[in-house]
């Protein structure tokens, strides 16, 4: 797990009549403002205001009506010095709320619903949350090969689009989109694979609050509010996995859980005779900057295999690696010494393939993973070894083995 840091807590403020969790409670501007003040007093760093429900089956809202609901709330909270994010998919609303004092635009479609959204955010100078989803209907298209990698791939494309629109990376926050276009098991796999999203180099916002997959942890028919304990637990795990912020309905329980974690970490450090290593930061600006390096198609000749002729004659092997690295120094100094030199790595991989023979490509893949993890910047390595000329008696396209290894904490 990642070293601990102070995790921001974003309080959810639904100024809607039809939210899945608290619809109608805060549709009145006065009630909404009062609830925002209450969440701020409980420890919320940001109030995330939404005027249009994203629950399954929700009726799309005209931007003018959305703005009528939320602008009075945004103006008052900003006037009081409360940091405000606004959950919207409409470019016109984004412009209006930033003009009213919001500092973050939170788009559940990552700028895909409204083609003007990214340009609008770029013009305002606000920060933007790019969330993974597959459209407004969150119940559709829930099939994944590897959910964490698929989410990363999608968000990488949206980051590229945002940067091309004029939004610098330091103004981008990424949200993996828990509960959006994902089955229940996908959400747990995504939480475990949060490092895939972190590797894109932007702070990560996690929003598991009261989501349907947490409903499996409480009795059938229990109201959504009874998922708050599970929300606090998953928010705590997200913080341990390196999330910069969590987005929740019940601020008090999550803030208490995160404070308990901070105090425990402080006690552990004191017992070890070490200085307090917790990091106080703004939206993870001081977190390690993670990056992914992919090196594919490295070809080398080796004498690996269980058959005598394979050991005697040898054959070609092809190696693909994907590394998650700490690129903090490389980004700061623009120096190859702060990263993994992929040319040197390719030579090391080829030399290992050409080295002492083994029977199984599983064993060879493990040796190659050891080579990758010998580089101190590497946190995680995935190594695939292809054996395109394997002695198989039927036509085939490829045979390959992949191993995943995580570095021990240094």
Residues classed as catalytic: 211, 247
Strand partners, 319: 298, 385
Provide the angle, in degrees to the nearest 10, between the axes of the packed helices 117-124 and 91-99.
Answer: 20
Nearest to 361, CA basis, from 294, 310, 313, 308: 310
Contact by Cβ (8 Å): 12, 48: yes
The answer to whether the Cα torsion of 254, 258, 263, 264 is positive or negative is positive
Beta strands in 303-396, from DSSP E residues, in sequence order: 315-326, 378-386
State how far Cα 88 lies from the chain centre. 20
Angle at CA of residue 366, ends 364 and 369, nearest 5°: 115
Cα–Cα distance between 99 and 322 in angstroms, integer? 42
Collect all residues with Cβ–Cβ distance below 8 Å to 76 and sequence separation of at least 6: 29, 33
Burial class (CB in 10 A: 0-12, 13-18, 19+), 248: buried
3-state secondary structure 24-77: CCCCCHHHHHHHHHHHHHHCCCEEEEECCCCCCCCCCCCHHHHHHHHHHHHHHH
Residue ranges of E strands in 156-289: 172-175, 205-206, 245-248
* Distance, CA of 387 to CA of 318 (rounded, Å): 7
**Look-up of token digits 């929003």:** 207
Sequence-distant (6+) residues with CB within 8 A of 264 are none
């Amino acid at each position: 797990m990642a070293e601990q840091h102070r995790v921001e807590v974003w309080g959810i403020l639904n100024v809607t009549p039809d939210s899945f969790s608290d619809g109608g409670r805060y549709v009145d501007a006065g009630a909404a403002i009062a609830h925002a003040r209450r969440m701020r007093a409980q420890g919320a760093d940001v109030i995330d205001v939404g005027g249009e429900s994203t629950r399954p089956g929700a009726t799309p809202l005209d931007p003018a009506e959305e703005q009528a609901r939320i602008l009075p709330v945004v103006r008052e909270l900003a006037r009081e010095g409360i940091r405000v994010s606004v959950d919207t998919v409409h470019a016109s609303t984004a412009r209006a709320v930033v003009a009213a004092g919001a500092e973050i635009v939170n788009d559940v479609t990552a700028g895909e619903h409204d083609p003007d959204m990214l340009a609008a955010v770029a013009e305002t100078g606000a920060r933007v949350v790019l969330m993974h989803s597959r459209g407004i209907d969150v119940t559709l298209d829930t099939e994944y090969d590897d959910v964490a990698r698929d989410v990363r791939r999608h968000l990488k494309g949206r980051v590229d689009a945002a940067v091309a629109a004029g939004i610098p990376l330091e103004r981008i926050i990424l949200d993996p989109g828990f509960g959006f276009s994902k089955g229940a098991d996908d959400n747990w796999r995504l939480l475990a694979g949060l490092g895939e999203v972190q590797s894109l180099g932007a702070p990560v916002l996690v929003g598991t609050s009261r989501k349907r997959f947490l409903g499996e942890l409480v009795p059938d028919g229990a109201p959504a509010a009874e998922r708050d304990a599970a929300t606090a637990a998953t928010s705590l795990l997200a913080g341990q996995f390196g999330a910069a912020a969590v987005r929740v309905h019940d601020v008090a329980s999550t803030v208490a859980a995160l404070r308990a974690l901070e105090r425990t970490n402080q006690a552990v450090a004191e017992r070890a005779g070490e200085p307090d290593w917790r990091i106080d930061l703004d939206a993870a600006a001081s977190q390690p900057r993670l990056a992914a390096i992919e090196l594919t198609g490295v070809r080398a000749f080796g004498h690996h295999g269980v058959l005598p002729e394979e050991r005697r004659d040898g054959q070609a092997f092809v190696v693909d690696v994907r590394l998650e690295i700490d690129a903090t120094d490389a980004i700061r100094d623009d120096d190859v010494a702060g990263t993994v030199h992929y040319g040197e790595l390719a030579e090391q991989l080829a030399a290992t393939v050409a080295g002492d023979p083994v029977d199984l490509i599983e064993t060879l893949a493990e040796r190659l993973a050891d080579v990758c993890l010998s580089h101190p910047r590497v946190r995680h390595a995935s190594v695939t070894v292809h054996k395109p000329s394997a002695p198989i008696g039927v036509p085939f396209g490829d045979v390959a083995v992949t191993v995943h290894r995580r570095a021990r904490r240094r």
